[in-house]
Amino acid sequence: MPGFEIIDYAGGRDPEVAALILSVQREDVGLFVPIEEQPELLDIARAYRDGAFWVALAGTGIVGTIGMMRYGDSGVLKKLFVRGDHRGPGGAAHALYDKALAWAVAQRLTAIFLDTPSVATRSHAFYQRRGYRIVGRDELPAAYDFPDRDSLIFRLGL
């Protein structure tokens, strides 16, 4: 697996970030979610201003992403997407997730939520191995707008 580094995303490459995310959604998950339904991808720095966003870089190319939005004392994990050649043990998904989890702990959040399409079974296994459990939408932070599609909601207590 090629080398990579995780960096705090400072903006300026939103189209490249969006292209990676849209590509993985379509090609690996089989979902077409228009960018208009993912408005945070149009201005990532603004959307994550109360949270954080990171990218995995291999050379100068973006090969992975993850974000954490903050809602009170909870975090909402968003946009964990990694190019296929940077997945697996020791890959970018693990490193990105560890970075986001460390941020959540440092911020003294009490829980992390995430939504993921019901068809994304590989993602479900990734999160369940890390202690996440499926919860009802009624457990989401009140301010969190979840997608209006067939998604599962996961929660991790911190």
| Closest of 51, 126, 124 to residue 91, by C-alpha | 126
Only one residue has tokens 């994304």, namely: 120
Give the chain's residues under pLDDT 70.
1-2, 142-149
pLDDT confidence of residue 32: 85
CATH architecture assignment, domain 5-157: 3-Layer(aba) Sandwich (3.40)
Distance set, CA 84 to CA 63, 65, 142 (Å) = 9, 13, 34
Number of alpha carbons in the 13 Å side-chain half-sphere of residue 51: 27
Looking at 15-135, which runs of residues are DSSP E strands?
52-58, 61-71, 74-82, 111-117, 133-135
pLDDT confidence of residue 6: 97
Q: Which residues are bridge partners to 8 per DSSP?
A: 54
pLDDT confidence of residue 119: 86
